[in-house]
Amino acid sequence: MNIHNKTIVITGAGSGIGRALALLLLKKNANVAAVDLNEKSLAETKKLAYEQAHHISTHVVNITDWTAVETLPNALIAQHGNIDGLINNAGIIQPFIKVNTLDYEAINRVMSVNFFGAVYMIKTFLPLLLKRPEAHITNISSMGGFLPVPGQSFYGASKAAIKLLTEGLYAELKDTNVHVSVAFPGATNTNISANSGVNSPNMPAGDTKKQNIPMQSAQTAAKIILDGMEKNKFQIFVGRDSKMMNFLYRLSPVYATNLIAKKMRSLLPE
């Protein structure tokens, strides 16, 4: 998809990869409709746009409320004229707790934001995208969407649901003007833990050094995702760890699962 002068809707645009995507799109001469639950974070994203700030609109919306989501198109079209693309980026992680002890409230929250939020956005905007000469939907899954991560089993399940939903959508839309991509970010240095209200058991939120896991920047992740979107890639593996673990999991699912379980053992309560 040629994103020049296109209008792209991004959820979770107030921070992390979503913010990086918004700012990079603006640099590529696209218009951005930035959606997030946090008004202050959205304002900061717009402030960081500097001279491109007049090409970004901000919209405080709870994407888990489908009635609120369905009010978005009229507001966005009033400001931008048309909508050409959708990036479902908003997501949260669960507490680092095993399935047996995680409460239903936390489970429902993860599934509502990560899966149903994307479903509501797709159902709301797809009819508009089908009317455009060229359009694109990019859904952000996760490396945890194809590789099980102990202590994040419901987060992984929500991202696996995004993976299969996107792949089904790709098959349904392959003969239309709407391109579809799914992205699988690996370890990325964002504030998703804080935004999710989650601390791992053995470290403060955001202390990535103690995890001994190489982190790519949100800006690097955004560049890879947009490059894949512009090339209409079906699957976009974001980071060396994502590419490597995809290969390893396909080669030996048991070995790859045990490897991740070993790395996660110290983060989980017994």
What's the pLDDT at 86?
A: 98
DSSP 114-133: IIIHHHHHHHHHHHHHTTSS
What's the predicted TM-score (pTM) here?
A: 0.92
- Report, as an integer, the average pLDDT of 225-252: 97
| Per-residue pLDDT band at 24 (split at 50, 70, 90) | very high
Number of domains in the chain: 1
Residue 191 included in any domain: yes
- Report, as an integer, the average pLDDT of 89-111: 95
Helices 117-129, 72-80: axis angle to 10 degrees equals 50
| Per-residue pLDDT band at 270 (split at 50, 70, 90) | low
What's the pLDDT at 205?
A: 42
d(CA 63, CA 194): 19
Residue 92's domain spans which residues?
A: 7-267
pLDDT digits (tens, 9 = 90+) for 192-228: 777 777 765 554 444 444 445 678 999 999 999 999 9
What's the pLDDT at 200?
A: 52
Please tell me whether residue 29 adopts helix, strand or coil conformation.
coil
d(CA 166, CA 171): 9
* pLDDT mean across residues, the chain: 92
What's the pLDDT at 190?
A: 81
Could you tell me the two tokens for 213? Answer: 């896991």
CATH number of the domain that residue 85 is part of:
3.40.50.720
Residue 164 included in any domain: yes
User: Diameter of the chain by CA atoms?
Assistant: 54
Could you tell me the two tokens for 101? Answer: 């002890």
Q: Nearest-CA neighbor of 217 among 200, 193, 248, 239?
A: 239
| Per-residue pLDDT band at 229 (split at 50, 70, 90) | very high
Distance of CA 82 to the CA centre of its chain: 22
Residue 129 included in any domain: yes
pLDDT digits (tens, 9 = 90+) for 50-93: 999 999 999 999 999 999 999 999 999 999 999 999 999 999 99
Residue 2 included in any domain: no
- Report, as an integer, the average pLDDT of 163-182: 98
DSSP 143-164: GGGTS--TT-HHHHHHHHHHHH
